[in-house]
Amino acid sequence: MGRRLWLRPPADHAQRAVWMRAHPFEWLEVSTYPATYSAQRIARAIRSGDRVAVSRHYGPAGAFETRTTSTEGGTTVHARFIGEAVNG
């Protein structure tokens, strides 16, 4: 029997953002989502630094990169901190 993702605990985004800031340019698995659209929505929110509940830890916009990969259990989001945006 396969792994049941709906039993998987939610990602601790605050903890992951802190780790990534301490380890710039290193990819970290954020979480695996059973639906591709959910993974893409989270990845977009992380990149944009949108102030919604999940991504409030990832601002400002452009400070993080993301990638998604298809896995046996769904779609996995990875992210990395690339630096704070610089304003002119």
pLDDT at 88: 45
pLDDT at 11: 87
Buried b / exposed e over 63-84, threshold 16 CB at 10 Å, is bbbbebeeeeebbbbbbbbeee
Instruction: Output the CA torsion sign for 48, 14, 36, 52.
Output: negative
Strand arrangement, sheet containing 28-33: 28-33, 74-81, 64-71
The CA–CA distances, whole Å, from 13 to 2, 16, 18, 41 equal 25, 5, 9, 14
**Confidence band of 1 (pLDDT split at 50, 70, 90):** very low
Tell me the pLDDT tens digit for each residue of 4-54: 545 567 889 999 999 999 999 999 999 999 999 999 999 999 998 876 667
Instruction: For the chain, give every domain's residue range.
Output: 11-81
